Amino acid sequence: HHWSRLQGPPPADPAVVEAMVAWLCDSGPTRAGRQPHLDHPGFDRIRTTSLDHHLWFHRPADLSRWHLTTLRSEATADARGLVRGALHDETGRHIASLAQEVLVRLPPAATAERATDGDS
């Protein structure tokens, strides 16, 4: 969960506001996709990227007011995760919904580590 708002006046163009909402909704799902792996011994080396992102706008947003983004990792398996979320304004109105497929990868060990693993 995270709260956000603009520090200045919002743009007058509704298309620019929607682009800003899209950016806001894309700034956290990959992090949420890593959450189920917090206890993994190589967690600090997990890499994630967005594979597919869907966003539905339900009503206009006034980005000069506070908005809550909530994200939930629904599933992770075979290096992929599904994150769903929503954007609500400070009064609780549902502004947008999102779904994002996330690639979740633990990179291979460093070259130096691999070089010593099989050496005799």
What mean pLDDT, rounded, does the chain reach? Answer: 81
- 34 vs 68, more confident: 68
Checking if the pLDDT of 67 tops 90, the result is yes
* Encoded tokens for 110: 């460093």
Q: Are 102 and 50 in contact (CB under 8 A)?
A: yes
CB atoms within 10 A of CB 62: 15
Q: Are 89 and 61 in contact (CB under 8 A)?
A: yes
- pTM score: 0.75
